[in-house]
Structure 1
């Protein structure tokens, strides 16, 4: 059983699967799915599409020079059937697959070496370029943290990082201008919404109170 490769993406096109296109000059093109067939008819270049084997090989993401790849070459040489030769061929195919898989893992590790360092460098560059967007501590907060660090005997920078993380993870949301909106859970299980001003003070909006006011109005109407 011969398993051909897709003409467009390079994936295996199994027998009785996929699409075969016969051109007027007699050349046949085998496609693994309709997606590859449609892209071929639209005259797209497989080297410019990231999901094809041709693109990955040109980008250096897959092995191109290896002795195990030579065994996959197509050979139209008729060979007389021999049981021993058939058994040796099957064992050789399994062994070649293991060797290729091991070499592909080694190739991947070499290709991805240093990726973590590059990601960290890019993240630091991004933070350095947008430092003005990060939350800042006031002078009074810094002095308070310095005194607290002197009492506990810890590093001031560590306390500042914890304080900034707490500010970044705060659930308070900005409502109108200098106002902040947050939710408060009462002891009886109810929830009330409070709108606070940046200059102090706040007004609580209780849903249960609104219902009680409506009930009072209904009683007055009945009287």
Structure 2
């Protein structure tokens, strides 16, 4: 069973699914679903459509360079069937999958590392801009904090 890649979204195209478009110059385009085919016909660039893998890779949301991708490459040299070779290949495939999953988790953690600080700063900015929407107790607490900061700031100036 040969699983191909969708020309537009790079998702898997299983046998018997999707559409195959053949241009006049015999170039073939395989699409996993009508959504991809329609976007291709509208001449949309997959790198600019946010839900495609091309966009995710171009914007740095997914790993692009990794040695585990080398195992997925297509090899055009036919190999004679050998039971031992198949067993070792399947073991290697499982191991490669584990390694890739581990690296993807690490990549995601590194990418999301500074987000909490940014979100907190953004939340504080929104609260300060829309202070009138906050409950009364919260306003009093914020004013108390501001007055404390001003007092400590004025004490620092006097010294």
Same fold (TM over 0.5): yes
Name 1:24's counterpart in structure 2. Answer: 24
Distance 1:129 1:77, change over 3 A: same
2:2 is equivalent to residue 6 of structure 1: no
Higher strand proportion (structure 1 or 2): 1
Deviating above 6 A after TM superposition, structure 1's stretches of 4 or more consecutive aligned residues are none
2:56 is equivalent to residue 79 of structure 1: no
Equivalent residues in 2 for 1:45-124, closer than 5 Å = 45-124=45-124
Partner deviation per Cα, 1:160-203 (whole Å, 9 max, x = no partner):
33989xxxxxxxxxxxxxxxxxxxxxxxxxxxxxxxxxxxxxxx
Question: How big is the alpha-carbon RMSD for the aligned residues of Structure 1 and Structure 2?
Answer: 1.9
Name 2:133's counterpart in structure 1. Answer: 134
Secondary structure in structure 1 of the residue aligned to 2:8? coil
Uncovered stretches (5+) of structure 2, i.e. residues with no partner: 142-159
Uncovered stretches (5+) of structure 1, i.e. residues with no partner: 138-159, 165-223
Alignment length (residue pairs): 141
* TM-score normalised to structure 1 length: 0.59
Partner deviation per Cα, 1:116-137 (whole Å, 9 max, x = no partner):
1111101111222233x33586
Distance 1:135 1:96, change over 3 A: closer
Does the CA contact (< 8 Å) of 2:127 and 2:134 recur in 1?
no
Q: Which has the higher contact order (CA 8 A, sep 6+)?
A: 2
Deviation at residue 82 of structure 1 after TM alignment: 1.5
Higher Cα Rg, which structure:
1
Secondary structure in structure 1 of the residue aligned to 2:51? coil
Higher helix proportion (structure 1 or 2): 2
Secondary structure in structure 2 of the residue aligned to 1:29? strand
